[in-house]
Chains A and B, each alone.
Chain A
Amino acid sequence: MDSVAPVKMLTVLGAICLVAIAAVIGWAREPRQYRADPPVSAALDQLRLMPDGIGGTSPEVYFAMGKPYESTGFDLSQGKRLYSWFGCSQCHGDGRGGKGPSFIDGWWLYGPSMVSIVASIRNGRPHGMPAFKDKMTSDQIWQLAGYVRSMGAYSASVVAPSRNDDKTSRPAENRAPAAILFDEGPIPVHPKQGPSP
Chain B
Amino acid sequence: MKAAVVIIIAALLAGCGGNQSALDPHGASSVALKDLIVLFALICSVIWLLVTGFLLWAVMRRRAEARRDPAAERRMTVAVRASMTATVVIVAGLTVASFHTTQSLHSGADAPVFVSVKGQQWWWQFTYRDGNQAPLFQTANEIHIPVGKDVRLELESIDVIHSLWIPSLAGKLDLIPGRKNVLTLRADRPGTYRGQCAEFCGLQHGHMALLVIAQDDSSYRQWVAAQAAPAAEPSDAEAAAGKAVFMSKPCAACHTVRGTPATGSSGPDLTHVGGRQTIGAGLLETTRGSLAAWIADPQTLKPGNNMPLVPLTGEELRQLSAYMEGLR
Contact = CB atoms under 8 A, between A and B. Distances in A.
Asked if chains A and B come from one complex, the reply is yes
Interface stretch (B1-9, B98-106, B125-133, B299-307): B299-307
A165 B158 CA distance: 12
The CB with the most chain A CB atoms within 10 A, among B253, B300, B311, is that of B311
Contacts of B309: 34-35, 137, 140
A107 interface: no
B199 interface: no
A87 B308 CA distance: 13
A127 B297 CA distance: 33
B303 A87 contact: no
A177 to B, nearest CB: 25
Contact of B303 (A34, A82, A134, A137): A34
| Interface size class, chain B | 10 to 19
Nearest to B254: A85
Interface in A132-169: 134-137, 140, 165
A85 B308 contact: yes
Contact of A35 (B159, B249, B299, B306): B299
Interface string B278-302: 0000000000000000000101100
Interface of B: 159, 249-250, 253-254, 297, 299-300, 303, 306, 308-311
Contacts of B300: 34-35
Nearest to A135: B250
B249 A135 contact: yes
B306 A85 contact: yes
Contacts of A82: 308
A87 B253 contact: yes
A86 B299 contact: no
Interface in A78-104: 81-82, 85-87
23 contacts: A32-B303, A34-B297, A34-B299, A34-B300, A34-B303, A34-B309, A81-B306, A81-B308, A85-B254, A85-B308, A86-B308, A134-B311, A135-B249, A135-B250, A135-B310, A135-B311, A136-B310, A136-B311, A137-B309, A137-B310, A137-B311, A140-B308, A165-B159
Contacts of B250: 86, 135
